[in-house]
Amino acid sequence: MFSILKSLFGKPVDFQSVLNRGAIIIDVRSNGEFKSGSVKGARNIPLDQLSSKVSELKKTGKPIITVCRSGARSGKAKSVLANAGLEVYNGGPWISLASKIS
């Protein structure tokens, strides 16, 4: 059973280690949602604007962690960025990631 789950979800990510390597946290919620709270230091790029920022993000050469409210939009954002060749991790709900890295 565990091997099935592992194959579906992969190994757990040590987000603190990724941040220690200089990762950028991208919150893909709307500007209004972002203003209501997010992970400290996160940058807001709404999902519908993410494709236009790919080249800018590539230039940083840094890993990226995506977050949103529930994990659905951050998962979509991960796909967009991974397909563009970036090192990216889905951090899921921003509040959950905040508790893992504080």
Q: What is the mean pLDDT of each successive set of 10 residues along the chain, which is 102 residues long?
A: 49 93 98 96 98 97 98 97 97 95 82
- State pTM to two decimals: 0.89
Q: Determine, yes or no, domain membership for 1.
A: no
Q: Determine, yes or no, domain membership for 38.
A: yes
How much is the pLDDT for 21? Answer: 96
Q: Determine, yes or no, domain membership for 3.
A: no
Which residue bears the tokens 């500007």? 31
Q: Determine, yes or no, domain membership for 4.
A: no
CATH number at residue 60: 3.40.250.10
Which residue range(s) make up the domain with 83? Answer: 10-101
Q: Element (H or E) spanning 91, and its range?
A: strand 88-93
Number of domains present in the structure of the chain: 1
Q: Determine, yes or no, domain membership for 94.
A: yes
Alpha helices in 10-93 (DSSP H): 15-20, 31-35, 54-60, 72-83
Q: Determine, yes or no, domain membership for 5.
A: no
* Polymer length of the chain: 102
